A and B are shown apart, each in its own frame.
Chain A
Amino acid sequence: MVSVLTTIAWVALLALAVALEAAAHLGLIRLSPLAHLARRWWTHPLGRLALLCAWSFVGIHLFSRYTVPR
C-alpha cells in the first residue's frame, strides 16, 4: 500500500511539474518556466556544463545502467 502511495506521489509530482511549466508558459501564474531558467543558465559556461552533465546523467542512468528491456 505504501509502495502504491509513493508511486502515486512520484507521478503526481511529475504531473504537477508539467502543469506548472504549462501554466508558466501560458502566463496563468507568476512563475519562471524551467525553459527560461535553463536558457539563462545556458549563457554561462558553468551553467552550460552543469546542464550538460545533468542531461548526460539522465541518459546514462536511463539507457545504459538501469532498465532491462523486454
Chain B
Amino acid sequence: MPTPRSGTRGPPGASLDSVAATSVEEHRWPHGAPLAGALLALAVVGWWVTGLRPFTATAYVAVGSVIGLVAALDLSLGTGRRRGDDAVFTEHAAAPWMALLVVAVALEVAGLALGGRSSAVPTLSTVVDHALGTHVVRFATFAAWIAVGVVPAVRRSGWSRC
C-alpha cells in the first residue's frame, strides 16, 4: 500500500490552488518493481477475500480490513481540491442521472416489496448474485471496487513518479 511521504495541506492561509499545487508536488508514489509488488500482493489478497464464504466472521473481518485501509488512505490524502471543482452543475445536466436513479429505485422497491428474493421481479442484488457466481467474476468485481475506492483519491493527490 503506497503511502505519501508528507502531508497534503499547505500553509495556513494558502489559496486552494496553491494547496492543490503543493499536494501534487509533495506526493511520491512507488513505481516499477515496488508498484508491481504492491499490485501483486493486492491481487493475492483479493483472490483470497473473494473466495471466502459469505456471512462468516472471516469474510466480515477481511472485507472490513480492506475498507479500513482504503478509507485511511483516502482520508490521509486530503481532498486535493482543484480549480473547477465548484463549477455549476445544472439540474439539466444531471437530469438523466436522476431519471435513471428513479427507475432503478422503483425496480428495487418493487423487488423488495415482493420479498427481496422474488423470482418474478428480482432486485439488483439478486441479479448481481447470479453474475457473481464464479470466483473469477467475483475477483474482477473486487478489483473494480478497489479501483473505484483508491484510484480517484490517488489521482487527486497528484500521482508522480519518484
Contact = CB atoms under 8 A, between A and B. Distances in A.
Interface of A: 2-3, 6-7, 9-11, 13, 16-17, 20, 29-32, 34-40, 42-43, 48, 52, 55-56, 58-70
Interface string B59-101: 1101110110011001100010100011101001110110010
B interface bracket (residues with beta carbon within 8 Å of A): 35 or more
A39 B156 contact: yes
14 contacts: A29-B96, A30-B93, A34-B97, A37-B94, A39-B152, A39-B156, A40-B86, A63-B142, A63-B145, A64-B55, A65-B55, A69-B134, A70-B134, A70-B135
Given A35-B152, A63-B142, A70-B134, A6 B121 contact: yes
B30 interface: no
Contacts of B119: 3
Contacts of A55: 67, 70, 145, 148-149
Chain B interface, DSSP helix/strand/loop, else mixed: helix
B122 interface: yes
A43 B79 contact: yes
A42 to B, nearest CB: 6
Chain A interface, DSSP helix/strand/loop, else mixed: helix
A39 B54 contact: no
Interface of B: 49-55, 59-60, 62-64, 66-67, 70-71, 74-75, 79, 81, 85-87, 89, 92-94, 96-97, 100, 103-104, 107, 111, 119-122, 124-125, 127-129, 132-135, 138, 141-142, 145, 148-149, 152-153, 156
B47 to A, nearest CB: 11
Nearest to A56: B67
A42 B120 contact: no
Contacts of A58: 145
A65 B133 CA distance: 13
B74 A64 contact: no
Contacts of B104: 13
B121 A37 contact: no
Contacts of B103: 13
Given A6-B107, A42-B156, A55-B67, 7 more contacts: A2-B120, A6-B120, A13-B103, A39-B156, A42-B152, A48-B74, A70-B134
